[in-house]
Structure 1
Amino acid sequence: MQNIEPLVRPRIVLLGAGRVAAHLGPALAAAGHPPVAIWSRTAASGVALAARLPAGTAIAPNLHELPPAEVYLLALPDAVVPEVLAAARFAAGALVAHTAGALPLSVFTPYSNQIRGGVFYPLQTFGPGRVIDWATVPLCLEAADAAGLVTLHALAAALSSDVREVSSAQRLQLHVAAVWASNFPNHLLGIGRELLEQAGLPWELLHPLIRETVDKALNQPPFGAQTGPAVRHDAATLTRHDAALATHPRWQMLYRELTASIQATARHELGAGTAAVAGAANNQPDPQL
Structure 2
Amino acid sequence: MMIADASATCPPRVFAPVRVVLLGAGRVAHHLGPALAAAGHAVVGVWSRTAVAAAALARHLPQARELTSLADLPAADVYLLALPDAVVPQVLAAARVPAGSMVAHTAGALPLAVFAARPELRGGVFYPLQTFGPGRTIDWPTVPLCLEAADAAGLATLHALAESLSQDVREVDSARRLQLHVAAVWASNFPNHLLGIARELLEQAGLPWQLLHPLIRETVDKALTQPPFEAQTGPAVRHDAATLARHAGALAAHPRWLALYGGLTASIQDVAGGGANNPPPG
Verify same fold: TM over 0.5.
yes
Distance 1:264 1:202, change over 3 A: same
What amino acid sits opposite 2:218 in the alignment?
E
Question: CA–CA distance in 2 between the matches of 1:149 and 1:72?
Answer: 14
Higher RCO (CA < 8 A, seq sep 6+): 2
Contact map agreement 1:11 1:69 (CA 8 A) in 2? yes
Contact map agreement 2:80 2:105 (CA 8 A) in 1? yes
**Equivalent residue for 2:254?**
248
**Equivalent residue for 2:10?**
none
Contact map agreement 2:271 2:280 (CA 8 A) in 1? no
What amino acid sits opposite 1:83 in the alignment?
Q
**Equivalent residue for 1:202?**
208
1:10 to partner: Cα distance:
2.8
1:23 matches 2:31: yes
Deviations 1:40-74 (A, max 9, x none): 111111111111111x4111111111111121000
1:94 matches 2:108: no
**Equivalent residue for 2:82?**
75
Contact map agreement 1:13 1:37 (CA 8 A) in 2? yes
Aligned to 1:66, which of 70, 73, 80? 73
Question: CA–CA distance in 2 between the matches of 1:245 and 1:49?
Answer: 44
Question: CA–CA distance in 1 between the matches of 2:246 and 2:148?
Answer: 50
What amino acid sits opposite 2:36 in the alignment?
L
What amino acid sits opposite 1:266 in the alignment?
A
Partner SS for 2:80: strand
Deviations 1:142-197 (A, max 9, x none): 00000000000000000000000000000000000000000000000000000000
Contact map agreement 2:237 2:269 (CA 8 A) in 1? yes
Q: Identity over aligned residues, as a percent?
A: 74
Deviations 1:59-91 (A, max 9, x none): 111111111112100000000000001111012
**Equivalent residue for 2:9?**
none
Moved over 6 A (4+): none
Higher Cα Rg, which structure:
1
Question: CA–CA distance in 1 between the matches of 2:185 and 2:83?
Answer: 18
**Equivalent residue for 2:185?**
179
1:273 to partner: Cα distance:
5.0
Aligned to 1:33, which of 22, 30, 41? 41
* Range with bigger deviation, 261-270 or 61-70: 261-270
1:8 to partner: Cα distance:
3.3
Partner SS for 2:100: coil
Contact map agreement 1:102 1:172 (CA 8 A) in 2? yes
What amino acid sits opposite 1:107 in the alignment?
V
Partner SS for 1:223: coil
Instruction: Give RMSD over aligned pairs.
Output: 1.8
* Unaligned 5+ runs, structure 2: 5-14
Aligned to 1:158, which of 144, 160, 164? 164
* Range with bigger deviation, 260-269 or 242-251: 260-269
Map 1:114-263; keep pairs closer than 5 Å.
Answer: 114-263=120-269
Question: CA–CA distance in 2 between the matches of 1:132 and 1:191?
Answer: 26
What amino acid sits opposite 1:134 in the alignment?
W
Aligned length: 269
**Equivalent residue for 2:12?**
none
Question: CA–CA distance in 1 between the matches of 2:133 and 2:114?
Answer: 26
1:42 matches 2:50: yes
What amino acid sits opposite 1:95 in the alignment?
M
Question: CA–CA distance in 1 between the matches of 2:239 and 2:233?
Answer: 11
Contact map agreement 1:70 1:91 (CA 8 A) in 2? no
Question: CA–CA distance in 2 between the matches of 1:201 and 1:39?
Answer: 45
**Equivalent residue for 1:4?**
none
TM-score where L is the length of structure 2: 0.92
1:269 to partner: Cα distance:
7.3
**Equivalent residue for 1:106?**
113
Contact map agreement 1:15 1:72 (CA 8 A) in 2? yes
TM-score where L is the length of structure 1: 0.90
